[in-house]
Structure 1
């Protein structure tokens, strides 16, 4: 564009509009066009979400290793799922974290991270606790088959869980942890790792088998390593809420 102070005298230099346009075009050839300023890089979880959406991710499952697994573990950790640590190895803890994520997001509970699970990681469901306590609390969503560790109205950690079958259901209600055993307990119905009893003989405990569906005799099972990581945050008197 010509400077605002310049003008063209039609009497002294008659020029046709076509000729003027040609002259301007020739004058502009060779001028560098400044590049548009780069957009600010997104931060934190937004950056991870953009990365997941913009790139083609491989299908991951238990036994996978590498940078894509590290990306997966970092994303799940940011979303509060219990992967046990970011190490680039898709082991049992990462598997259960993926299953828990699939449960919360209404996906097939196969523990395999394919296109649909990657897409959900980009726009995940963010669960909220139903109850607000100043300290830690335990909530078990029987419909989703997951355990939430809540604190101050925020879900602090999400664990894969398996509750009682239809014939031996887990009781719903509001209780507190009444008794704990730091170790294995041999019950009439099997071995319980570090059980936290909240109602009679019902407990939240670690187990070597945590299927994707209700499978216990009434207790709430979580993986043994997950119970080890959960153990220090639970105390006698910790609220326990079981609901559908």
Structure 2
């Protein structure tokens, strides 16, 4: 594991033949309005429609953040001649057939990464369908089904154009993180590269950041420097993912054990808060404040961004630029008032393991054992 100061441009991604398929040059820009995105469409009478011209849906889930007022119901144009063919059955988790392969290819064309186009409807494909439902169909973030019905497929195969909320006039790369929809999108010069389901900080019954207290193992200090030996800490915190405008500033390759938990290929944008890979990326916000993304996307996420790229986070109440500096701060962890001891572990090898010696990320367990200590995902 190593911290890296990246160049001003992202690294090139590996080729399509890579065993972890960390290629993902998603193929086609498609043609519906994305809910939290700026969208420009042509209707049948050749009138241009923007995202502000249509009514916003409202979330009904008590633990889902409110949908921001600038979101919109999708507006679509008629099918084009080269649209994928229709299907006459539902597609869902566990199925294996050619229709699933067509679905996976369409998701890739729209920049929702479903994993390899192999005809198997697994977790990666289901999470890509979740992201599509939430972003383009207006489904509340806790309620996507992950099932593609013939009517959903008809929506999916329409020509679509997805644009960022914050255009850079095609001058820069940036990430947009939509907490109400629990979706993350990376744009290169205003063109989508990958759009992913995500899970941010866990919420309590009132919709506020949930409190957590856990025994964690830390192998780096707050500045990212490796410790001589990993340290066990009994700490508490609040699972806040702050909104605002940030920049990526540091990354770690492989696994990093921090105060917020265990992270795969984290890239930090707000103190100890990072975008990182995790096995558990459920529908509901579930992290300690970080932004979890699926492992297969985390494999190549660092190749898509450079230190200095902006990360804009929407909370559903304010524009990112309107969030105060105080509200942009995370909730820093604190010692558990009920803690009894703090133990230094004797396994320094765990602190120096790099991505080249770790098992493949798909085999990383939800909990990582270090001596007698369990480290949970952030």
TM-score range, shorter chain: 0.7 to 0.9
Q: Indicate the residue corresponding to 2:335 in structure 1.
A: none
The correspondence for 1:213, drawn from 270, 284, 287, is 284
Q: Distance in 1 between matches of 2:129 and 2:101?
A: 13
Q: Compute the displacement of 1:47 (Å).
A: 4.1
Report the aligned-residue RMSD. 2.0
Q: Distance in 2 between matches of 1:227 and 1:242?
A: 19
Q: Distance in 1 between matches of 2:242 and 2:95?
A: 38
1:128 aligned onto 2:160: no
1:139 aligned onto 2:173: no
Q: Distance in 2 between matches of 1:136 and 1:84?
A: 23
Deviations 1:111-134 (A, max 9, x none): 122244323314487542122343
Q: Distance in 2 between matches of 1:98 and 1:154?
A: 20
SS of the equivalent of 2:103 reads helix
Q: Compute the displacement of 1:180 (Å).
A: 0.3
1:150 aligned onto 2:184: no
| Partners of 1:161 and 1:222 within 8 A in 2 | yes
SS of the equivalent of 2:85 reads helix
Q: May I ask how many residue pairs the two structures share in their alignment?
A: 197
Q: Indicate the residue corresponding to 2:103 in structure 1.
A: 72
SS of the equivalent of 1:46 reads coil
Q: Distance in 2 between matches of 1:169 and 1:231?
A: 23
Q: Which protein is bigger by CA-based radius of gyration?
A: 1
Structure 1: gaps (5+ residues): 1-44
Deviations 1:25-59 (A, max 9, x none): xxxxxxxxxxxxxxxxxxxx83454623xx42x22
1:138-217 alignment, distance < 5 Å: 138-165=175-202, 166-167=208-209, 168-217=239-288
**C-alpha spacing 1:137/1:61, structure 2 compared with 1 (3 Å):** same
Higher relative helix content: 1
SS of the equivalent of 2:298 reads helix
Q: Indicate the residue corresponding to 1:17 in structure 2.
A: none
1:53-92 alignment, distance < 5 Å: 55-56=87-88, 58-92=89-123
The correspondence for 2:148, drawn from 110, 113, 126, is 113
SS of the equivalent of 2:80 reads helix
Q: Compute the displacement of 1:74 (Å).
A: 1.4
TM-score (norm 1): 0.74
| Partners of 1:179 and 1:198 within 8 A in 2 | yes
